[in-house]
Amino acid sequence: MTSRATSVRPTPPPGRPARRLLIGLALLLVAALTPAAATPPAQAAPSLLSQGRPATASSTENAGTPAAAAVDGDAGTRWASAFSDPQWIQVDLGARANLSQVVLSWEGAYGRAFTIQTSDDGAAWTTVHSTSAGTGGTQTLNVAGAGRYVRMHGTARGTGYGYSLWEFQVYGEAGGTAPTCGSANVAQGRPATASSVENAGLPASAAVDGNPATRWASAAADPQWLRVDLGSVRSICRVVLTWEAAHARAFQLQTSVDGSAWTTVYGTTTGTGGSQSLAVTGSGRYLRVYGTARATTYGYSLWELAVNVPGDDAPPVEPTDPRNPNFGPNTFVFDPSTPTATIQSRLNTIFTQQERNQFGPERYAVLFKPGTYTADVNLGFFTQVAGLGMSPDDVNLNGHVRAEAFWMGGNATQNFWRAAENLSVTLPAGVTVERWAVSQAAPYRRMHLRGAQNQIQLWNGGDGWSSGGLMADTKIDGLVVSGSQQQWYSRNSEFGGWTGSVWNMVFQGVTGAPPPHFPNPSHTVIPQTPQVREKPFLYVDGTGEYRVFVPALRTNSTGTSWYGRTPAGSSISLSQFYVVRPGTGAATINAALAQGRHLLFTPGVHRVTEPIRVDRPDTVVLGLGLATVQADNGTVAMRVADVDGVKVAGLMFEAGQVNSPVLMEVGPPGSAASHAANPTSLHDVFFRIGGPGVGRATNTLTVNSDHVIGDHMWLWRADHGDGVGWTVNTADTGLTVNGDDVTMYGLFVEHYQRYQTVWNGNGGRTYFYQNEMPYDPPNQAAWMNGATRGYAAYKVADSVSTHQAWGMGSYCYFNVDPSVVADRAIEAPTNPNVRFTNMVTVSLGGVGTINRVVNGTGGTANAANQQAYLTNYP
C-alpha cells in the first residue's frame, strides 16, 4: 500500500545521456595518454577447475547431449536436460577448492530460476548464488564458497524446452582446506523415533534431549533401532554414543536422505558400550543406530546420541541475567522514578529521527515498567512502545500514544511498521480524541484507552486516507471512529462503540461491534474467534525479574484476554532466553537454540547467511522494536520444524540482494504431524522484499505444518523506495499454505508478481484479507498466467475440498499500464464446502481493471465502476 502520488518514479532530466558520453570520452583520452608504466600490476587469475572433470546430470535430452559436453571446453557441444523441472548438472572437481566464479554459457533453452551450489560430499549442498530472473546468454557469476562438487540446480525453465548449457565453467583455487569436525550436537532436540520402547518413561526423544540423566531403552529383542531426523541433509563426521549398561555388541550407523533407503557408514560386532566417539564419513537427513546383537539380556539403552558435522563448532552462548538484561543500545526502559523531562526528551528524539525514516536500519523499543507516567508518545517508523506489566492497566500513561501522518500531508497510507502494546492511556484534561492513523504492520494490541467520553480516530482527522490496520485484545472505553480508513480488522476487543466504514471492516469476537451489514456499510461481524493464542509479551514481575508470558489457547472466545479476568498461560524467566543483538551470527543463534534457549531479538537489523533453525517444541522467538532478520547470500532466514507450539512474534523478515527460495518456512515439505492441541503461531510477523534496496525472494512464507495460526501478518513486495521495479525486486508468491487446518487472522499480502496467496491445504480459514495486486506490470503480455490475464490475489487449489474465508478485499492500481486487466481476484474450485463471505474489489482511482470477484462471478471494478461487492460464493 502506498500513496498513489508517490508511487510514480521521476524520469531522469534531459541531457544526462550526453553528459555521460562526454565523461566517457574524457576517460578514454586520459587512458590513451597514461604511460604503460602507470598501469597497475596484473593480478593472478583464478584457474579453470571444471574442464575435463567428471560431470553428471539429473537427465539428458538424448545421447548426443551428455553432461560431459558442458565441461569439455568445446563451445560447439552442449548438455541438455529433459523438458521438466527441476533439473541439475554437477561437476566433480576432484578435490576441495575455494571458488570465485561460475560462468554459464546457455544455449537458447536457459534457466530462469536456478541456484549454484557447492558440496564436500555430493549430498549436502550449500547455495552460493540464486536467481529467479535468469537472462540466458553468457552469465558470469561471482561466488564465494568452497567444495569438491559444484552444481547448477534449475527450478524454472526460461522456455518450453529443458535446460541447455554449451559450457559450465567453475573458477577458483584448488587445495581448499577441508572443514574440521565441529562439536555442536545437531541431533539435540531433533525429532527421534525408535523401533520400540521398554516403557513410556524411556522414549526415543530422551536420547537427544541433552540430558545425560534420561535415556531411551528398547524392548529385549533383536534387531532394534533409534532414528533421529536432522531436519535437512547434513554431512556427518562424528557420532557419539553414550550407552547405559544395556549396550550393543553388534550395531551399524546408517544414513538416509528420505528415511527409507539406508547407507551404512559404520559397523562393528565388538561394541564395548560406555561412551563411543566414532569418526564417520557420510551424509543424510536421517541417522539411525541399528542394533543387531545385544551385549546383555536387556534391550538397547542410550543416555545420549550426539551427531557432529563439519565446521559446525558451537560458538559460546552468553547467559542472560533476568534482572539486568542487555537489550542493546536501542531499547529504553523507564520506571516511575525516571524524570518526566528525561522520558519526553528521549521520545521526542526518537520521533524526530523516525517520523520519515521508512527504509532506514534504525529500530527502537521504549518500555515502561509498571506505574504511572506523563508522556506524549508519538510513534514514527520502526518504533515500539510497550508496557512491562502483566495487565495493560499496570502501566498508565497520562498523555498520548498516537500515530499521525503530518509528515505526508495527512495521508497515512504509508504509516507502516510501528506498534503500541500492553499499555493504558488516559488523555489529558479537555482532550477527547486520540489518533491511530496507520496502514499495514502497525498493531494496536493489548491496549486500553480509558474514558467513555473519548474516541480513537483511525485516520488523520479529515485530511487524508489510511489503509489497513489491526486492533487485538484491546479495550476502548469510548468510540472507535474509522473515518476515511479503508479497511480494518478488529479481533477479541471491547469497544464502547464504532462508527464508520469504507470498503472492508471486519470484527471478530468483539463486544461493542456494529451490527453486521455488508456491503453498505461494509461491516462483516463474526461473533466468536474459534481458536487463537494471543501474542507472547515481555513483563517484569514483582521481584524485578524480566519474564515472557505465553498466553494459552482460547476457544470460541469473545472480548479481551485480560480485562476483568486473569489471563491463562505460562511464564518463562528471561534467563531461559538468549538475547540476540545485531551482529550475532546464525551459528551462535542456532547454538543457543540447540541448548534449549528461547530467543529475544533486540531492535536492529540482524543479517544471517544460513537459516535460523527452530527445532524444539514450544520455543518462543520474540522481537523488540520490530527487529528485522535479513536473509543474505540467498539463504532462507528461518526454518521451523514440524513440532508443537512454536511461537514467533514481533519480527520482520527481509530479502537480501541474492534471491532466496523462501524467507520463512514453517515445517519442512511433507509435514504431516497433528498439532491440533498445541499449534505453532505467528504474531505480528512481517515480510519485506525491496524498499531499502534490492531484495529478491521466489516465495516469502511457506506453511507446510498443519494447524498453524497466523495472527496479523503483512507480506509486502515493495511498490516504492529503493531497489524497486518489475525486474528488480522480483518475487513470485507471498504466502503458500500446504498444511491442513491452517487459520489466518488479519492477513495482508501485496504486490507479488504471480499469485499473492496460494492455498493447497484442506480445512483452511482466513478471517480478513487485504490485498493489492502488483502496481508495475509493464504491459498485459508481461503479466499472463497462460491464457488468463494476470494472477488471482487468492488462489485455492483445485484439489482443496474444504476452505472458508470472510471479509476479503483486493485492489488494483496498474499505474505503469492502466490497460492491464486481472481476470479475477479470487480463484477457487466450485464446491459448496469452499466458501467465501463478503468480498470487495476496488480499482484505485480507476487505474486498471479487476474483471470479476471470484472465478467468473461478481462485478467489474474499473474506471467506470471503481468498487464491486459480492456477499457470498458459491
Residues known to be catalytic:
772
3-state secondary structure 498-558: EECCCCEEEEECCECCCCCECCCCCEEEECCEEEEECCCEEEECCCCCEEEEEECEEEEEC
For 73, the grid coordinates are: 571446453
Q: CA-CA distances (angstroms) from residue 711 to 433, 473, 523, 788? A: 28, 12, 20, 32
Grid coordinates representing 29? 583520452
d(CA 231, CA 285): 6
Q: Quick one: which of 450, 458, 405 has its CA closest to 431? A: 450
Sorted by sequence, the CB contacts under 8 Å of residue 39 that are 6+ apart come out as none
Q: Are strands 418-421 and 444-445 parallel, antiparallel or unpaired?
A: parallel
The β-bridge partners of 485 are 466
Alpha-carbon gap, residue 731 to 709, rounded angstroms: 24
Q: Which three cell numbers stand for residue 761?
A: 491445504
Q: Which are the contacts of 217, defined by CB distance < 8 A and separation ≥ 6?
A: 197, 198, 199, 202, 244, 246, 298, 299, 300, 301
Q: Are strands 709-717 and 733-737 parallel, antiparallel or unpaired?
A: unpaired
C-alpha cell at 660: 532466496
The number of beta carbons lying within 10 Å of the beta carbon of residue 372 is 13
Closest CA to 809 of 489, 493, 402: 489
Cell of 533: 493464542
DSSP string across 594-606: HTT-EEEEPSSEE
Q: Which residues pair with 664 in a beta bridge?
A: 638, 701
Q: Of how many residues is the chain composed?
A: 874
Alpha-carbon torsion, ordered 341, 343, 347, 352, to 10 deg: 40
Residues 407 and 373 sit within 8 Å (Cβ to Cβ):
no
Question: Which of 787, 760, 774 is closest to 732 using CA atoms?
Answer: 774
Rounded CA gap, 134 and 154, in Å? 10
Q: Which single residue is written with the C-alpha cell 514453517?
A: 666
Q: Between vectors from CA 301 to CA 235 and to CA 678, what angle results, nearest 5°?
A: 70
Quote the CA–CA distance of 295 and 137 in Å, as a whole number: 63
Element spanning 586, H or E: helix 586-594
Smallest CA-to-CA distance from 231 within 704, 667, 672 is with: 667
How many angstroms separate the CA atoms of 811 and 339, rounded?
48
Q: Which residue(s) pair with 367 in the sheet?
A: 333, 386
205: left (phi over 0), alpha (psi -120 to 50) or beta: alpha
Grid coordinates in use for 670?
511433507
Beta strands at 164-174 and 87-106: parallel, antiparallel or unpaired: antiparallel
| The three cell numbers locating residue 139 | 552469465
Distance CA 188, CA 593 (A): 10
The three grid cell numbers given for residue 727, joined into one nine-digit string: 525486474
- How far CA 265 is from CA of 204, 237, 281, 304, in Å, comes to 21, 10, 7, 19
As a whole number of angstroms, the distance between CA 478 and CA 415 comes to: 24
Q: Are 329 and 602 in contact (CB under 8 A)?
A: no
Beta bridge mates, 126: 118
